[in-house]
Amino acid sequence: MDETEIWEKQLQSIWQQLGKISNEDFIRRIKDHVQHLTDKKAIADFEMACAFDSTGNEKEAEPLYRSALHHGLSGLRRRRARIQLASTLRNNGKIDESIRILREEKINESDELDDAVDSFLALSLYSAGESKEALSLALKALSRHLPRYNNSLYKYAENLETSNKHDSTGS
């Protein structure tokens, strides 16, 4: 096991303590752990943002997510940072920016986090008063996981989108 793998394993061990120790102690442990990443500011900022976000401190998380992305966060952590930043922005009242980020993620990439993108986009759309589009996205995401009725549910969700477009054009 190399140093990076050991560091990641130790990080996961700290994350397993979330909810079992005080939020302050959890944040301190993450902070102590990431200080060893002097050459990887993007990852350090991302993990600190996650720690703040997971403990209900969205205002502290937002600038750290932005810093992590600015410093070149890559891979799955980059996509997670974009999703989590968008969620944090929604919680901080910046709904339009949240929607923009998540719509970009839907277009730019596809991976195991697609349903998370759709789910958080649905929340942001709902917060923006776009209930039909939000419900449609949520139902489409859910339809991919049902043991039955997948096609029916997906078609109903598409019909919501179509009716939403007609409602907004006055037709």
Q: Tell me the DSSP string of 4-44.
A: HHHHHHHHHHHHTTBTTB-HHHHHHHHHHHHTT-TT-HHHH
* Beta partners for residue 18, in sequence order: 21
Residue 4, domain member (yes or no): no
Q: Does one domain contain both 116 and 137? A: no
Residue 93, domain member (yes or no): yes
pLDDT at 171: 41
Q: Does one domain contain both 143 and 169? A: yes
Range of the domain at 64: 9-129
Q: Does one domain contain both 109 and 153? A: no
Q: Tell me the DSSP string of 144-163.
A: TT-SS-HHHHHHHHHHHHHH
pLDDT at 167: 58
Q: Does one domain contain both 34 and 77? A: yes
CA dihedral 107, 110, 113, 116 (to 10 degrees): 30
Task: Extract the tokens encoding 17.
Answer: 């303590």
Residue 3, domain member (yes or no): no
Domain count for the chain: 2
Task: Extract the tokens encoding 53.
Answer: 């976000």
pLDDT at 162: 79
Q: Does one domain contain both 116 and 141? A: no
pLDDT at 1: 83
Q: Does one domain contain both 111 and 139? A: no
Tens digits of pLDDT across the chain (171 residues): 888 899 999 999 999 999 999 999 999 999 999 998 777 999 999 999 999 999 999 999 999 999 999 999 999 999 999 999 999 999 999 999 999 999 999 998 789 999 999 999 999 999 999 999 999 999 999 998 988 898 899 888 988 877 755 555 444
Residue 65 to residue 54: CA distance in whole angstroms:
13
CATH code, 116 = 1.25.40.10
Q: Does one domain contain both 169 and 125? A: no
pLDDT at 4: 87
Q: Does one domain contain both 46 and 82? A: yes
Q: Does one domain contain both 114 and 171? A: no
